[in-house]
Chain A
Amino acid sequence: MISSRTEGCTLTGALSVTSSVQDAITVIHGPDGCAHHNFSLLHALHFDNDQLILPSFLSSSLKEQEIIFGGEQALEDALAGALAGSPGAIFVLTSCVAAAIGDDVMAVCSEISGCPVVVIPSGGFLGGGFSDGVRSALIALSDLADGGDPNGTVTLVGEKNLEYEAEANYHEVRRLLGLLGVKVQLRFVRNIDVSAIAHLGSSSLNILREESLTDVGDVLEDRFGTPYLPSFPVGFEGTLTFLSQVADALNIGSREAVSSEMARQKEIIDQFSELRGRAINVCHPGGMPPLFLNELLELFDLQVKERGQNLPLPDPVPVGTSGISRMLSRWKRVLHA
């Protein structure tokens, strides 16, 4: 099988979540290479995004002896090392080889007291990829939440911790929610402490980063009764719909927020009027052009031609009005408009 750019290691996906809980330690039950490789990868990606983060990983350092005789003692030792750091929680992630030899990770972890321990099975050979690791980690970490009456706030679920525009996207969603007078109670999981996860059950609405997380949304809805929106807003029209959907879910009015956002969108459309009528070509993987692209083609009367100017389409797709605005700025530069 040829390696795909969209999928990868289950362990890496789970680590992209757990490493964003700042006062927790993640124990990787596997050979040192699994921990080192992921440490380097996450560190480098964060560094690319102008953040200096040294993920708090601890390896159980499995070697051949542990593979033959069982790695449970090595895991116990690693857990003792993790406990010594007085973390807010310990997340235990299994590598492929630990899963293959059948170490009873749950049993070892259930012996630990004095600190919450969450086990996230993440052996990639079981067939999952990066996004399965993300989903498993989010579902597992929700065990640290209490219930609670809905308090009118929103929780953001599954922000893409490794994407370049993660913070910009967060600020955009927060801005939009602000138009409705709604607050973000929790970013589940991005740059938070363990104690914050307790509030997961008390938001009135969960907003998933993207539709691939609907399994997580379903689990949280079952567990806490919290309804969810399946995705951050995409496109001009999508952003207005998003505002109405949030308002409907929270039983509040959206008229003012929608008209204020429409006005902002109109300003942006005017600001990029030089793009109007240009011949372009956009490469979008997957065949069908995304809806927000059709919207822009129409709004700016752009002509898609084989020999038109090639324009970059961001992946993941831009979030909210500001995301579209940033993309249009890039297009404008490319088109020298």
Chain B
Amino acid sequence: MKQIALYGKGGIGKSTTSTNISAALSVMGLDVLQIGCDPKRDSTRMLMHGRLIPTVMDQVRERGDKAITQEDVVFTGYGGVRCVEAGGPEPGVGCAGRGIIATFQVLERLGALHADVVVYDVLGDVVCGGFAMPMREGYAQEVYLVTSGELMSLYAANNICKAIRRLSGRSRGQCRLGGVICNAKNLPDEKQLVATFAERIGSTLIQFIPRDPVVQRAELNRMTVIEYAPGSDQAEAYRLLARNIIENRRLDIPEPLEIAELEDLAYDFIAD
């Protein structure tokens, strides 16, 4: 079983990337489980044709921890991909990080964490211990950073490297950085910039995903690109990404950059 986690700045396209990876893997004949680890609960929506599935936390709240079964929290979407949403509190109250921890405990107890590939799609930033849960021992061993060439997005990715580094330093920590996914914003030299960033943190650019209006069209039709436009170049880019991830053997302990280094890097590309 391969377990991967996608992290990156809020709004960078983690869910779009995750659902398309999951869809592409399922088309390859693999059994896939995607777990949305964000209280916004919209990670798996495109796999579920626009449906916001009941979340683990909602179910626990309504029916109690002991009363729920796998059927209550695991829903099958496009290509047989099994979808789970952790859920969490309304914005502004409670502790969403604790919600992620509790979700993992429930999924463990239900024996739901099994598949050829488990894809964890995690909230924008590792704001507390709870959101690092998918990186802990026994869960995702490979983290993929989703970033564009924008400085703020690189900054968030760099920050997540600190969490990976911290967790990989533990004696039983198995979490490593699998690579950097460039989800492009169509900036000049963006691929080169993100590839250089990946190299500088001691990793590699695993796939460049161009910006394409087909992504929006697919989402308006409540589908992944893999399902909506399987013959498109964009779908091919996602399939390549999925294959690269499956075949990836390179796992690194990243070296996060200092903020000044990061700025210099971005500046070099803008100045060019």
Contacts and interface: CB of A to CB of B under 8 A. Distances in A.
Do A and B share a complex? yes
Interface of A: 64-72, 100-103
Q: Which of B57, B90, B95, B98 gathers most chain A CB within 10 Å? A: B95
B172 interface: no
26 contacts: A64-B98, A65-B60, A65-B61, A67-B94, A67-B98, A68-B57, A68-B89, A68-B94, A68-B95, A68-B96, A68-B98, A69-B57, A69-B61, A69-B89, A69-B94, A69-B99, A70-B89, A70-B90, A71-B94, A72-B93, A100-B95, A101-B93, A101-B95, A101-B98, A102-B93, A103-B93
Nearest to B100: A68
Given A71-B94, A101-B93, A102-B93, 11 more contacts: A64-B102, A66-B94, A67-B94, A68-B94, A68-B102, A69-B61, A69-B89, A69-B90, A69-B93, A70-B90, A70-B93
A186 B57 CA distance: 51
The dominant DSSP class at the A interface is helix
B108 to A, nearest CB: 15
Contacts of A102: 93
Contacts of A65: 60-61
Interface in B50-70: 57, 60-61
Interface in B128-184: none
A211 to B, nearest CB: 40
B8 interface: no
Contacts of B89: 68-70
A102 B102 CA distance: 19
B256 interface: no
B36 interface: no
B88 interface: yes
Nearest to A64: B102
Interface in B85-128: 88-90, 93-96, 98-99, 102
The 6 closest A-B pairs by CB, nearest first: A70-B93, A70-B94, A68-B99, A101-B95, A69-B89, A69-B94
Contacts of A67: 94-95, 98
Contacts of B99: 68-69
A69 B93 CA distance: 6
A69 B98 CA distance: 9
A101 B57 CA distance: 17
Contacts of A69: 57, 61, 88-90, 93-94, 99
A102 B91 CA distance: 12
A101 to B, nearest CB: 4
Contacts of A103: 93
A101 B88 CA distance: 13
A330 B95 CA distance: 55
A217 B90 CA distance: 43
Contacts of B57: 68-69
A303 B248 CA distance: 83
Nearest to B64: A65
Nearest to A66: B94
Nearest to B60: A65
A68 B97 CA distance: 8
